[in-house]
Amino acid sequence: MSRVSSKFGKLIKEFLVRNGLTFRGAALQTGISAAYWKDMSDGRVPSEEVIQRISAAFHDLDENELRLAAGYSVKPDNIDAVQAVEFALRGHKGIPPEGKRQILDFVREIEERYCKTQDRQK
């Protein structure tokens, strides 16, 4: 039996609606059948290869967001520091939301500071 994730299905449905795509339209652009697109919109979790294919075909579908919703781990080379810390904080129930916000704000500030410095050095 296939795994099911309502979060994954929701991401697929929202993407299709946002882009005015039918299952068939998405299928034509990816080579993945319309029936499979329907299954994914219902929450069927595809393979990691399928996630990679659809995120490569549609640039507004973030591969790591899809991977997380499907229950796979993120690809570290496709994630920025803020996303990585946000992902890590999800497992820490003891840190209150305000503490998590403060940590993420700090990481954003540091990332901004050093990314700007690196851009100037290039």
| Domain spans, the chain | 6-73, 80-121
In single-letter form, the type of residue at position 74 comes to: V
**Residue 122 pLDDT greater than 60, yes or no:** no
- pLDDT at residue number 76: 73
**Residue 121 pLDDT greater than 80, yes or no:** no
pLDDT in tens, 33-88: 999 999 999 999 999 999 999 999 998 898 988 998 999 988 877 677 887 788 77
What does the buried/exposed string (b/e) look like for 67-91 if buried means 16 or more CB atoms within 10 Å of the residue's CB?
bbbbebebeeeebeebbebeeebee
Geometric angle at alpha carbon 25, from 2 and 44, rounded to 5°: 10
Domain 6-73 has CATH 3.30.70.3420: no
Residue pair 5/69 in contact by the 8 Å Cβ criterion: yes
**Residue 1 pLDDT greater than 50, yes or no:** no
Task: Please tell me which residue, 44 or 90, carries the higher pLDDT value.
Answer: 44
pLDDT in tens, 14-26: 999 999 999 999 9
**Residue 117 pLDDT greater than 60, yes or no:** no
Residue pair 33/50 in contact by the 8 Å Cβ criterion: no
- pLDDT at residue number 88: 79
